[in-house]
Amino acid sequence: MTASAAAIQIVPADGRREFRQFVRLPYRIYEGEPNWVAPLLRDVKTMFDRTKHPFHLHSEVQAFLALRDGDPVGRIAAVHNRNHVAFHEEQIGFFGFFECVDDQAVADALFQRSGEWLRERGLQTMRGPASFSTNDVAGLLVDGFDRPPTIMMSYNPPYYVGLVEGAGFEAVKTVVTYHLDNNIPPEYLRKREARLTERLDVRIRYLRPRQFEEELGLVRYIYNRAWEKNWGFVPMTDEELKFMAHELKQVVVRDPEQVMFVETSDGDPIGFAFWLKDYNQALIHARGRLFPVGLLKILWHSRKISACRVLTLGLIPEYRHKGIDNLLYIRIFREGAALGVAEGEFGWILEDNLAMRKPLEKIGSRVSKQYRFYDRPL
């Protein structure tokens, strides 16, 4: 053991002081980094609150803090996602919330301790990053460090790639995002809209705010059917969906066009698209704090958001490859432009999902960022 490694102590971030250090460590890591968007401190605290966040109803999380001579230099969370284990029938645990100074010894110690915690629970592989699952912020940024992340996407220093791979992790899956630098729908989409609408006998409608709870049920039904075969997919529980919806309700109710449902002529739900104005353009000015002036900054800069992120766009299997996705794309173009959106990001998308990637390239978007998931045997 080197002198550097011997001085590193890994402790559970369970006490008030240690958890406060855990939450605030990123401010040290990203000091002077203009592209980092600090998550709201209250949101991070809520995620680890076993009485508030529904993930803890079915799974287990342990936060760890790395100290060198009492000084916090790294953090990680070990995640035993029991729903993932049951759904995929594989003994895989996860790591998330990884932040670390540029020191391999610190990273190794964090991965070693979190791996031990996962192994104690019978898990055989550690995968990440995922905080807490692929339904949340997930993936290590490996390319595209030149611009801030969009809403609900991750960001990290380039040297994290070396730390993770240097600790013995191997890449298991790469995902990408696409960027489109305009809000003008291609001519071929405009020409196909009327013809596709008539031929396919489907209709697109927007979120009905007054029937919010009923709409949530439709989202869960479509989501769990449309994405169930995707790599890394884990069905959302009712509690998790309601929690996420509560967090986003204010912004989607204000602009219900951001949630689009596809229905048959009989009213059967067959797909949906969910896009959001990129509120990170406002959050970046608050540096994670609502008070005393962070909230005012968010409200002020929210008036000038010029980009969006398309988080999800999917159809249940029997309605794919019919052109319905084209109808959703042109609606997003139209409604986004009406709300002042001049550019957008699509993703993330599995690198090998060519059925989704080719249409995005056809409308003129290009790969802007790459994220990667890593595995390490336990």
Inform me whether the pLDDT recorded for 155 exceeds 70. Answer: yes
Digit-coded pLDDT (tens) for 125-142:
999 999 999 999 999 999
Confidence category of residue 287, pLDDT binned at 50, 70, 90: confident
pLDDT above 70 as % of the chain = 98
Q: Residues 77, 4: contact at Cβ < 8 Å?
A: no
Separation of alpha carbons 37 and 197, rounded Å: 40
Inform me whether the pLDDT recorded for 273 exceeds 70. Answer: yes
Contact residues for 112 (Cβ-Cβ < 8 A; gap 6+): 10
Separation of alpha carbons 99 and 117, rounded Å: 18
pLDDT of residue 199: 87
pLDDT of residue 5: 60
Inform me whether the pLDDT recorded for 333 exceeds 50. Answer: yes
Confidence category of residue 4, pLDDT binned at 50, 70, 90: low
Q: What is the arithmetic mean of pLDDT over 197-204?
A: 87
SS (H, E, C) the chain: CCHHHHCEEEEECCCHHHHHHHHHHHHHHCCCCCCCCCCCHHHHHHHCCCCCCHHHHCCEEEEEEEEECCEEEEEEEEEECHHHHHHHCCCEEEEEEEEECCCHHHHHHHHHHHHHHHHCCCCCEEEECEECCCCCEECEEEECCCCCCCCCCCCCCCHHHHHHHHCCCEEEEEEEEEEECCCCCCHHHHHHHHHHHHHHCEEEEECCHHHHHHHHHHHHHHHHHHCCCCCCCCCCCHHHHHHHHHHHHHHHHHCHHHEEEEEECCCCEEEEEEEEECCHHHHCCCCCCCCCCHHHHHHHHHCCCCEEEEEEEEECHHHCCCCHHHHHHHHHHHHHHHCCCCEEEEEEEECCCHHHHHHHHHCCCEEEEEEEEEEEEC
pLDDT above 90 as % of the chain = 80
pLDDT of residue 229: 84
